[in-house]
A and B are shown apart, each in its own frame.
Chain A
Amino acid sequence: RKEVEQDPGPFNVPEGATVAFNCTYSNSASQSFFWYRQDCRKEPKLLMSVYSSGNEDGRFTAQLNRASQYISLLIRDSKLSDSATYLCVVNMDSAGSYIPTFGRGTSLIVHP
């Protein structure tokens, strides 16, 4: 049973489009949530943390829905450079330890 689920995509969108990804998690005691961006064969890089009240960073908006146990990432005005794989990460409470659990990633392709 996968604890963090993401639609692998790919999401293929034109420049300027708005695209949204969801990520569901199974552990209701999960403590913290993040979105990472990973380019091919490169290390994951933190895109943004996800806060309970929702947060925005430029064209990117992240939201958390604890009741339904999912987080989302919205990208507005997509750029070619946004093409990458987006990983959601949930730090899950496991008997007092926090285990970072990664989704398998959602692939985004932005085309001209």
Chain B
Amino acid sequence: EAQVTQNPRYLITVTGKKLTVTCSQNMNHEYMSWYRQDPGLGLRQIYYSMNVEVTDKGDVPEGYKVSRKEKRNFPLILESPSPNQTSLYFCASSLSISRQPQHFGDGTRLSIL
């Protein structure tokens, strides 16, 4: 089944404790992206990747890192999480972002205390 898989689905952690949210897609998509969604603000792009080893900042990259060493994986890293990074996070992928829609993972709900 074609899908985007995020892990974990839920995480409660404390300020400053490094964490990684994994994202994997099995559709051989070139484009992958991370979003956060907050009430009243909609979906905001954090980082995106056009292909392996090609990543770029989205609208709200501060406090986040990403890597794209393999086509299927695009982890999101919070080196020193802070409470303002408490949010609902979505990973998405697309065959070709110029023409094709994105497919979203189920989401990761992060709470930083």
Chain A residues close to B by CB (< 8 Å): 31-32, 34, 36, 41-46, 49, 87, 89, 91, 97-100, 102-105
Contacts and interface: CB of A to CB of B under 8 A. Distances in A.
B99 A32 contact: yes
A32 B107 contact: no
Interface in B54-109: 56, 88, 90, 94, 97-107, 109
B107 A43 contact: yes
Summarize A's interface: helix, strand, loop or mixed.
strand
Contacts, number: 50
Given A31-B99, A91-B97, A97-B50, A43 B104 contact: yes
B88 A41 contact: yes
B42 A100 contact: no
Given A43-B104, A43-B107, A104-B42, A98 B97 contact: yes
